[in-house]
Amino acid sequence: MQLDLNLLLALDALLEEGSVTGAAARLHVSAPAMSRTLGRIRRATGDQILVRTGRTMTATPRALELRETVHDLVQRAQEVLAPRTDVDPATLERTFILKWHDALAAAAGPALLRAVRSAAPGVRLRFLAEASGDVHDPRRGDVDLEAHSGTPATSEMRHEVVGHDRLVLAVRPEHPLCQGELTLADYAAAEHITVSRRGRLRDPIDDAVEAQGLRRTVVAAAPTNAAALRFVREHDLVVAVPELTSRPLLEDFGLRVRPLPLSMPAIPIHLAWHQRYANDPAHTWLRGLAREVMPTGVR
């Protein structure tokens, strides 16, 4: 059966107005066109729907029976096709999957959860490690929101830069580099630990140091900022970490911060999401909260 859903709009107007002329004016069509549409409705339903009684038209029992259902269907169809522009967090029931760099999760995750729980008690957050083996893939739209320093590699992903961070050095208070002016030679001569999920003992800082005719001694690699800072707390090691996103851990571990005696590019902080969520009101609301909870000074 070939269904013309425009017949529902016409039937709703006819039942509301009780006349062909009124329904035609309501839908901005001519009276003859509406009369032809009424003929199609009669054939489709097997009922006269409206019958003439003198100068007016009267709904049939079948039409009266259909009136409420037809009106409800038309309203639902309009809701489906109309753009959604708002969301009520208080009644929102949803689980968001977030794949964030560990430093950003540590720095901004607690504040995001606090903001979400305050406004939307029915919302839950799942934070995944960037290197997680979870089946959720941002490129398929399975992850709601990513946060990291990289630019998405595929066109399906939308992204925006919400701020920048910079590298600083973290050492324990007893470390010799805590005393006096820190020169590049002093920095290069120290023992270093890198942050690398793949255990790499080299990073872009080595290129910058070697361009100055010096070389670092890297003795260890740790998979996350938190792990590297724990090593630094126990040994006379130096690690370069993003200042703002690492601040909570630096304070918790009682570590000292020294400026990096090198010029290194600022670290962009990206929020990224699949294009399927671009116009999702609930997702837009979550992105707004994520922007707001980034560490002070990042935006």
Least confident of 35-39, 92-96, 162-166, 201-205: 162-166
| Residue 275 pLDDT class (50, 70, 90 cuts) | confident
Over residues 217-239, the pLDDT tens digits come to 999 999 999 999 999 999 999 99
Backbone φ, ψ for residue 172 (5° rounding): -80, 155
Q: How far apart are CA 96 and CA 115, in angstroms?
A: 14
User: How many C-beta neighbours within 10 Å does residue 187 have?
Assistant: 22
CA dihedral sign of residues 289, 291, 295, 299:
negative
Tokens of 243: 């200042």
Q: How far apart are CA 169 and CA 181, in angstroms?
A: 13
pLDDT over 60 (residue 297): no
pLDDT over 60 (residue 132): no
Structural domains in the chain, sorted by start: 6-81 (1.10.10.10), 89-165+267-292 (3.40.190.10), 167-259 (3.40.190.10)
| Residue 138 pLDDT class (50, 70, 90 cuts) | low
The number of helix segments (H) and strand segments (E) in the chain equals 10, 12
Least confident of 21-30, 47-56, 147-156, 181-190: 147-156
Q: How far apart are CA 237 and CA 131, in angstroms?
A: 25
Q: What is the pLDDT of residue 299?
A: 43
Q: How far apart are CA 9 and CA 273, in angstroms?
A: 37
Q: Where are the alpha helices (DSSP H) in 28-124?
A: 31-45, 61-81, 102-119
The DSSP result for 23-35, as a single string, is HHHHHT--HHHHH
User: How many C-beta neighbours within 10 Å does residue 114 have?
Assistant: 12
Average pLDDT over residues 62-73: 89
pLDDT over 50 (residue 287): yes
Dihedral angle over CA of 243, 267, 273, 98, nearest 10:
-30
What is the overall mean pLDDT for the chain? 89
CA atoms within 13 A on the CB side of 78: 9
Q: What is the pLDDT of residue 179?
A: 85
pTM beyond 0.85, yes or no = no
In Å, how far are 14, 39, 149, 278, 291 from 160, measured between CA atoms? 49, 54, 11, 12, 10
CB 275 within 8 A of CB 157: yes
Q: What is the pLDDT of residue 139?
A: 57
| Residue 1 pLDDT class (50, 70, 90 cuts) | very low
Q: What percent of the chain has pLDDT over 90?
A: 61
Highest mean pLDDT among 6-10, 212-216, 293-297: 212-216
Tokens of 159: 């992204």
Q: What is the pLDDT of residue 298?
A: 44
Average pLDDT over residues 132-136: 51
Q: How far apart are CA 224 and CA 229, in angstroms?
A: 9
Q: What is the pLDDT of residue 156?
A: 80
